Amino acid sequence: MASNVPDDLLFTSHDEWVRQEKGDIVAVGITDFAQDALGEIVHVEVPEVGDEIEAEAAVCEVESVKAVAELYAPVSGEIVAVNEDLDDEPEAINKNPYGSWIFKVKMSDPDELDNLLDAAAYQQKLEDGD
């Protein structure tokens, strides 16, 4: 089953997607591949607004019936918003992974975006299967 990998997003090697919004703010979610691997998502443990996060460090968790996946921060910065709708409807991530952002970060170092994968590179990673 081929995964959907939109061209206009950036990706991490841990299967998070990153969408640039206004200014230094990015929205983060998990990819189609990740939601498919996790299966039916039942809960998202969101971080707290105001938390300072560091790139590559664990930020929060997505829980399915069978597994728990940690989300790693794609970039460093401050959490400025969390998607509280996921509290009532965590399965939205299964239905629409790229429409279901989990948290937003105000980046402290926008250059860190250069460390992320573009769609082609992420697609390649999925095909390589690692």
Partner 1 sequence: MSGSGASGAESASPLAEGSRDFERRHIGPDAEQLAAMLATVGAASLDALIDEAVPARIRTSRPLDLPAPISEHEALAALADRAAKNRVLRSYLGMGYHGTLTPPVIQRNVLENPGWYTAYTPYQAEISQGRLEALLVYQTMVQELTGLEIANASMLDEATAAAEAMNMAFHVGREKLTRFFVDEGCHPQTIAVVRTRAEPIGVEVVVGDPLAFDFSEPVFGALLQYPTTTGHVRDYRALVEAVHAHKGLVIVATDLLALTMLAPPGEWGADVAVGNSQRFGVPLGYGGPHAGFFATLEKHQRKMPGRIIGQSVDADGNPALRMALQTREQHIRRDKATSNICTAQVLLANMAAFYAVWHGPAGLTAIARRVASRAAGLAAALKAAGFEVGAQFFDTVRFQTDDAAGIVDRARAAGFNLRNLGAGSRGSVAIALDETTSPADLVALYAALGLSGAPRDADPAIPEGLVRKSGFLKQAVFHSHRSETAMMRWLHRLETKDLALNTSMIPLGSCTMKLNAAAEMMPVSFPGFSGLHPFVPREQAQGYAQLFAELEGWLAEITGFAAVSLQPNAGSQGEYAGLLTIRRYHHARGETERDVCLIPTSAHGTNPASAVLAGLRVVPVRCDDHGNIDVDDLRAKVEQHGSRVSALMVTYPSTHGVFEEAIREICQLVHSVGGQVYLDGANMNAMVGLCRPGEIGADVCHLNLHKTFAIPHGGGGPGMGPIGVAAHLAPHLPSHPVIETGGDGGAVSAAPWGSPSILVITWAYIAMLGPVGLTNASKMAILNANYIAKRLEGKYDVLYKGAQGRVAHECILDTRPLKTSANIAVDDIAKRLMDYGFHAPTMSFPVAGTLMVEPTESEDQGELDRLCDALLSIRAEIAEVEAGTADPDDNVLKHAPHTAAAVISDGWAHAYSREKAAYPAPWLRVHKYWPTVRRIDNATGDRNLICTCDAWPES
Name the site residues for partner 1 (rule: CB under 8 A): 40, 42-43, 45, 63-68, 90-91
Least distance to partner 1, CB of residue 36, Å: 14
Tell me whether residue 42 or residue 120 sits nearer to partner 1 (CB atom): 42
| 112 SS3 class | helix
Q: Which two tokens stand for residue 121?
A: 């590179």
What's the angle, vertex CA 2, arms to CA 8 and CA 127, rounded to 5? 85
* Rounded Cα–Cα distance for residues 85 and 64 (Å): 17
Which CB sits closer to partner 1, 42 or 49? Answer: 42
Strand partners, 79: 105
In the complex with partner 1, the residue whose CB is nearer, 10 or 34, is: 34
Determine the residue type at 96: N
36/109 with CB nearer partner 1? 36
Amino acid at 98: Y
Shortest Cβ 90–partner 1 spacing (Å): 6
Longest dimension (CA), the chain: 38
